[in-house]
């Protein structure tokens, strides 16, 4: 082994090694200082200022491939904020919105940041996969989380502080298949498409396939696609050779929209049933006039005639050139509304008097789970484990206008599900 001592001290290699060691020591010192300064990350032990507004944090996917949903959610939350602020309320609430991006580390960073800033509760993250990463952090620090759009199995079961207003996929999925079969009872040949690298789509297709099996239908073709795919000619050609009468798609907005368009362009004329991932008006510009006729089960119908939904529709239309809101925006509104109303109820009872932030978070979680809420989704409440109980679900059909660039989800069926259905 060559030793630096064997070389002249003026040797550039020796100087370089020494420089390296010095810089390394400086980096190590800086890291140690950062670690020391960043230790106390949660102001949970501080007393609440009775005059100051309570801060509510939201970590949404404003960037990355889930940003189509995140933008809808930002809209829903800010509309809810404006509307609820205008109503009389005893405690002011401030909102802090952070970008949780579409990956796990960013969601964790956004949650950590908001918790450190002393939020009383969190809304988000957008994707279920992110929730599995970020929710345990909120749970460990005792911060209530309301998920606006996590539909995967097992989210509220992460812990006692985790709840959601988005009904699990397994509740909604069967309705759209049943509607398709009601329209064409002779359907025997079904083709299934799903994005195999997406947690939501694989979970959804499993539910769809279970429903199909329960109705005695065995898929004639199962095609796997990828989230980032643009060209679906091969899987579509393979599926169409089996002459399907019904196509069932589990995908996200971008790839699913393209898939529908290419299915129609390649000559498929039968019914199409899609999953929750396409439950956003953002698909209209993607599949355009080819979106027409697609069947989708929803946890929200814009046609629900209640004061809160009418207000939501009106505000959404004012902010979006007359567009009709979709489920993602409605669920985000609902998430903000339930936390806001729970805060006001605790405040009215004098519940926040003399509490530390940590105790206030516990109080709020208890109140959140015990309340009943009248939201744009209809009346909802929570099960003790944080799962949403929603009685009414809908099947909608996409209707595109004559320009082929804009459309809406028209209600075709409404169904009351008995409470407590998993």
Partner 1 sequence: MIDNGLLVQMILGALLGLSVYLPMAAGQLSLATPAFYAVGGTLAALLSTQGNAQSAISLWAVLGEMLLAGCLTAGLALLVGLPVLRLRGIYLAIATIALVEIVRVAILNLPFTGGAAGIFGIPQPFQKPFGYVLFSGALLAVCGWLFQRLEASRLGRSMAAIRDDELASRCMGIHTTRVKLTAFLASAVLAGITGVIAAHYLNTWNARQGSFDVAITTLAFVILGGSRSWLGPVIGGLLLTALPELLRPVGDLRLVLFGLVILLGPVFFPQGLITPALLERLGRWKP
| 89's tokens | 């309320």
Cα separation values, 183 from 122, 179, 331, 397, 399, Å: 42, 6, 29, 12, 17
Is 199 buried (19+), middle (13-18) or exposed (0-12) by CB count in 10 A?
A: middle
Closest distance of CB 133 from partner 1, Å: 5
Residues 6+ apart with CB under 8 A from 139: 145, 158, 159, 160, 161, 162
Among 29, 38, 53, 82, binds partner 1 (CB under 8 A): 38
Q: Which residues pair with 394 in a beta bridge?
A: 298, 414
20 binds partner 1 (CB under 8 A): yes
Regarding 18 and contact with partner 1 (CB under 8 A), the answer is yes
Q: What x/- string results for residues 40 through 79 when contact with partner 1 is judged by CB under 8 A?
A: -x--------------------xx----------------
Supply the minimum distance, in Å, between the C-beta of residue 168 and partner 1: 13
Other C-beta atoms closer than 10 Å to the C-beta of 194 total 25
The CB-of-194 to partner 1 minimum distance in angstroms stands at: 10
Q: Which helix (H) or strand (E) holds 200?
A: helix 199-214
Q: Which residues of 314-325 are buried (b: 16+ CB within 10 A; e: fewer)?
A: ebbeeeeeeebb
Q: Rule CB under 8 A: choose which of 53, 82, 154, 285 binds partner 1.
A: 154
Among 47, 92, 140, 218, binds partner 1 (CB under 8 A): 140
324 with 313: CB under 8 angstroms? yes
| Total of chain residues touching partner 1, rule CB under 8 A | 58
Interaction of residue 34 with partner 1, rule CB under 8 A: yes
Grouping H, G, I as helix, E, B as strand and the rest as coil, residue 108 is: helix
Residue 343's nearest CA partner among 147, 96, 93, 98 is: 93
Nearest distance in Å: CB 421, partner 1: 22
Q: Report in angstroms how near the CB of residue 54 gets to partner 1 at its nearest.
A: 21
Among 55, 160, 202, 306, binds partner 1 (CB under 8 A): 202
Closer to partner 1 by Cβ: residue 203 or 365: 203
Whether the Cβ atoms of residue 348 and residue 90 lie closer than 8 Å to each other:
yes
Q: Which two tokens stand for residue 233?
A: 């000619």
Asked if 2 interacts with partner 1 (CB under 8 A), we say yes
Which of 115, 112, 117, 119 minimizes the C-alpha distance to 54?
119
Mask of contacts with partner 1, 84-123, x by CB under 8 A?
--------------xx---xxxx-xx--xx--x-------
Q: Is 222 in the site for partner 1 (CB under 8 A)?
A: no
Is residue 255 within the footprint of partner 1 (CB under 8 A)? no
* Cβ pair 243, 269 in contact under 8 A: no
User: What is the rounded distance in angstroms from the CA atom of residue 123 to the CA atom of residue 378?
Assistant: 20
168 near partner 1, rule: CB under 8 A: no
Residues 227, 230, 231, 232: is their CA dihedral positive or negative? positive
Least Å distance, CB 245 to partner 1, is: 28
User: Interface with partner 1 by CB under 8 A: which range of 190-198, 209-217, 292-300, 333-341?
Assistant: 190-198
Q: The dihedral of CA 236, 238, 244, 247: what is its sign?
A: negative
Q: Is 230 in the site for partner 1 (CB under 8 A)?
A: no
Among 137, 220, 311, 412, binds partner 1 (CB under 8 A): 137
Contact 412, 395 (CB under 8 A): yes
The secondary structure of residue 323, as a DSSP letter, is P
347-406: which residues touch partner 1 (CB under 8 A)? none
The window from 26-34, 142-150, 285-293, 405-413 that contacts partner 1 (CB under 8 A) reads 26-34
- Does 37 bind partner 1 (CB under 8 A)? Our answer is yes
Closer by beta carbon to partner 1, 108 or else 338: 108
Binding site for partner 1 (CB under 8 A): 1-4, 12, 14-24, 27-28, 31-32, 34-35, 37-39, 41, 62-63, 98-99, 103-106, 108-109, 112-113, 116, 128-129, 132-134, 136-137, 140, 152, 154, 158-159, 196-199, 201-203
């Amino acid at each position: 082994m060559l030793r630096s001592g064997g070389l002249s001290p003026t040797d550039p290699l020796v100087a370089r090694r020494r420089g390296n060691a010095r810089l390394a020591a400086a980096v190590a010192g800086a890291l140690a200082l950062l670690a020391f300064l960043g230790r106390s990350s949660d102001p949970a032990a501080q007393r609440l200022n009775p005059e100051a507004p309570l801060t509510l944090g939201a970590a949404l996917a404003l960037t990355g491939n889930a940003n189509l949903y995140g933008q809808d959610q930002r809209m829903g939350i800010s509309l809810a904020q404006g509307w609820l602020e205008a109503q009389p309320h005893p405690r002011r609430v401030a909102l802090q919105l952070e970008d949780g991006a579409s990956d796990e580390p960013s969601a964790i960073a956004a949650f950590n940041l908001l918790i450190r800033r002393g939020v009383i509760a969190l809304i988000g993250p957008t994707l279920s996969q992110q929730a599995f990463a970020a929710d345990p952090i909120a749970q460990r620090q005792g911060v209530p989380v309301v998920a606006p759009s996590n539909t995967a199995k097992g989210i509220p079961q992460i812990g006692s502080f985790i709840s959601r207003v988005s009904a699990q996929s397994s509740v909604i999925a069967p309705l759209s298949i049943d509607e398709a079969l009601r329209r064409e009872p002779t359907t025997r040949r079904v083709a299934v498409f799903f994005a195999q690298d997406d947690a939501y789509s694989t979970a959804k297709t499993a539910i769809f396939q279970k429903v199909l099996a329960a109705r005695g239908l065995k898929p004639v073709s199962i095609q796997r696609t990828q989230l980032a795919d643009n060209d679906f000619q091969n899987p579509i050609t393979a599926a169409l050779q089996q002459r399907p009468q019904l196509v069932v798609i589990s995908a996200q907005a971008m790839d699913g929209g393209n898939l529908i368009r290419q299915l129609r362009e390649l000559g498929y004329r039968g019914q199409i049933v899609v999953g929750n991932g396409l439950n956003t008006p953002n698909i209209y510009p993607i599949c355009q006039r080819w979106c027409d006729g697609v069947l989708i089960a929803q946890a929200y119908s814009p046609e629900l005639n209640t004061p809160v939904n009418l207000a939501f529709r009106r505000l959404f239309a004012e902010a979006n050139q007359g567009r009709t809101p979709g489920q993602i925006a409605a669920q985000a509104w609902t998430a903000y509304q339930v936390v806001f109303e729970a805060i006001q109820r605790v405040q009215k009872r004098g519940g926040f008097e003399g509490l530390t932030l940590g105790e206030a978070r516990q109080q709020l979680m208890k109140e959140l789970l015990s309340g009943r809420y009248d939201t744009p989704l209809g009346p909802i409440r929570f099960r003790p484990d944080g799962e949403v109980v929603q009685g009414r679900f809908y099947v909608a059909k996409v209707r595109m206008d004559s320009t082929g660039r804009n459309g809406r989800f028209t209600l075709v069926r409404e169904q009351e599900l008995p409470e407590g259905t998993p």
